[in-house]
Amino acid sequence: MMDAEQLEKIRLMARLKLQVKRVMKKSVDLQALATNPDYAERVLADIEEHCVDEDMLVTVLTLREMLVPKRPPRSARVLIPGAGATTADEDDPRQHKLIRDYRYGARGGGAP
């Protein structure tokens, strides 16, 4: 038996498919939308970009919350050199400016 959240997700997916078909003349693969987060993110972003209907936009935003895993925004990532996990941007010197160096006090100067 399905719980209320699963039924709501199914109802919203069906509504979105019909709205997209009617308004945008496109088709949405519901199986891929439910099982593939990358597909869901890509399709929902495309629909959001071209959406002209408020109800359809609310449906897109609600489904995104249900189907797409949360990812931290790029600006929220703080890279600490030598802290273990690495990313492709770790060698970019601009990324290291996110961390301040207070070895010589807040103003960076030594003793006057």
pLDDT in tens, 51-88: 989 999 999 999 999 999 887 666 655 556 665 555 55
State pTM to two decimals: 0.61
H-state helical runs in 24-97? 30-35, 37-50, 54-67, 93-96
At 107, the pLDDT band (50, 70, 90 cuts) reads low
Q: What is the pLDDT of residues 27-43, one digit of tens each?
A: 999 999 999 999 999 99
**Domain residue spans in the chain?**
4-67
Cβ within 8 Å of residue 26, ≥6 positions away: 20
* Residues 57/12, Cβ–Cβ less than 8 Å: no
What pLDDT sits at residue 34? 94
Residue 92 has pLDDT above 80, yes or no: no
Residue 98 has pLDDT above 60, yes or no: no
